[in-house]
Amino acid sequence: MSVIAAQTVALDGAVGHLIDVQADVSPGQVGTTLVGRPDAALSESRDRCRMAIINSGFSWPATKRVTVLLSPADLPKRGTHFDLAIALAILAAANGGATDADAAAATAEEVAEARGRAQRFLDALPHTVVLGELTLAGGLRSVPGVLPMVLAASAKGVRSVVVPEPQVREAQMVPDMSVLGARSLTQVVAHLRGDEMPDAPPVAEMSGSRLLAWRGQERLEEVDLADLRGLGEAKYAVEVAATGGHAILLSGSKGAGKTSLAERIPGLLPDLVPDEALELTALHSLAGALEPQDGLVVRPPYSAPHHDASKASIVGGGSGQVRPGEISRAHAGVLFLDEWPLFRADIIDALRQPLESGEVTIARREESVTLPARTLLVLACNPCPCGEFSAVPGANRCTCRPQALRDYRARTSGPIADRIDITRHIGPLRPHEHDPFAPVETTAEVRARVHAARVRQHERYADYGWRLNAHVPGPVLRDRWPLVPRAQRLVDDALYAGRLSSRGAVRVQRVAWTVADMLAVRRGEDVVPDRDEVDVALRLRAGDPLLGRTIARAVS
């Protein structure tokens, strides 16, 4: 048999494409040719596959010309996970699915049985997606991106997949998929032929190790909103942001509690719904951050990159295959940029697209990759470079030069600031807020309210595919869920007075719906945004104090 195809998957960002790996073994100049736009790592698979086939006890067509086509040929191919498909396609093309043991068949019954096993191999190969990097000994090593690749195969109707044994749990996250975890090339061949699986030693996986213990995400479970005394308006603003998915800016002098509040926001978010969990886990797999023992990511992630981080690490990119950045790895969770005026200007500008669309597009040469980036953005900054500025009489200890202060404040305004829904200025604690016996709410209590309000939003937008108020496009919000006339007049007055942009008016309406949803949860009845809810939204956006009367009605 001349041409046989095996199936695997090529990743274009988070999008997977089924690839036919076609092999032809025919007379000609001896050598192995790999065509179909392979990258350097994939081009080296010719040598890996040749040695893996030989060391696994199979015959290599040493006197023939081997041509391997990765089809479609115009799609760039990257990565070492093509190895297994290339080796199987060559074995099928060279031997017609037969092994050396089949050649030893003597009786007619043995010959017929050998032909049947070979035919089963040829029949199963085109209908099974195979993934894995081969070692020279024929072992099967784990590869990044298994989950998005299996998801892509499932979307194309494939129901059988072979992956390296440590990644079986990851592949089994995809519903209705038959998954085989294999340790070696010989085990995969035996499976496709219907033979008994031979034993194979586990392949030593290369994994990084840290010099110091780091608990990372687990540390967030130890912090609680009840730990923070006072900060009533800031806590309310954070709850609004968590409920509706709104971007929030926290400003205040150093030590005011900005970072403490930001670290507690992930705890206010409910568990991810199944679709979100699968999408986020696929992104972590694509980034190579999913360990074999990890399961489905069900808790919203939290990312707080340093202000000296590169654009590629935050937005996504890198050399070779595009990798998700922190903004995508925090999808459906929280991205916290502390001291955000210190981040490079191109990084701040790159946040515009995800804040508007919930996606980030990375374009390089002939490649354009779009990744999900629907994160709750939390920004924090000091009022001045030294962090000592205060508007309280007698409390201002700022030593910044006027020009430095102007430059710093210029970086905290502009197009990004207009995309921030909520602004809170955190000042020093007031005397009555030091009362250790004052009632405080725990993170669990607030999370229950956030979850209930999010359920209301999900039900309202169930027919449209959105989950939160922050996701609803402005024109649709105005047409299908408009404000009552007296509430709309408040927004129009601010718009005509120049205190709001057109974009800001839409975002105020979104926040007003969130305030109404929170109030409905507390009252146990439907509430639509009215003047008071819009007034709260306007004050939240401008960073104005929430008057006692206004916030009392909002949380009553």
Q: Tens of pLDDT along 499-522?
A: 999 999 999 999 999 999 999 998
CATH tag, 3-193: 3.30.230.10
The token duo for 379 is 């920004």
Phi (first) and psi of residue 104, to 5 degrees: -85, 0
Residue 17's CB is within 10 A of a number of other CB atoms, namely: 15
pTM listed for this prediction: 0.86
If pLDDT is split at 50, 70 and 90, which confidence band does 211 have? Answer: very low
In the chain, pLDDT over 70 holds for what percent of residues? 89
H-helix or E-strand containing 329?
helix 326-329
If pLDDT is split at 50, 70 and 90, which confidence band does 142 have? Answer: very high
Residue 549's pLDDT is what?
A: 46
Residue 431's pLDDT is what?
A: 63
Is 82 in contact with 70 (CB distance < 8 Å)?
yes
Is 182 in contact with 146 (CB distance < 8 Å)?
no
Residue 52's CB is within 10 A of a number of other CB atoms, namely: 27
Task: Please report how the helices 83-95 and 108-124 are oriented relative to each other, as an axis angle in degrees rounded to 10.
Answer: 140
Strand spans (E) along 78-142: 129-130, 133-134, 140-141
CA angle, 114 as apex, 112 and 117 as ends, to 5°? 110
Is 144 in contact with 288 (CB distance < 8 Å)?
yes
Is 243 in contact with 518 (CB distance < 8 Å)?
yes
CA 9 – CA 32 distance, rounded (Å): 22
Q: 216-428+438-471 architecture in CATH?
A: 3-Layer(aba) Sandwich (3.40)
Domain residues of the chain, as ranges? 3-193, 216-428+438-471
Residue 210's pLDDT is what?
A: 45
CA 366 – CA 353 distance, rounded (Å): 21
For tokens 């499976």, the residue is 191
Q: Is 105 helix (H, G, I), strand (E, B) or coil?
A: coil
Q: Is the peptide bond before 545 cis (omega within 30 degrees of 0)?
A: no
Each residue's pLDDT tens digit, 466-485? 999 999 999 999 999 999 99
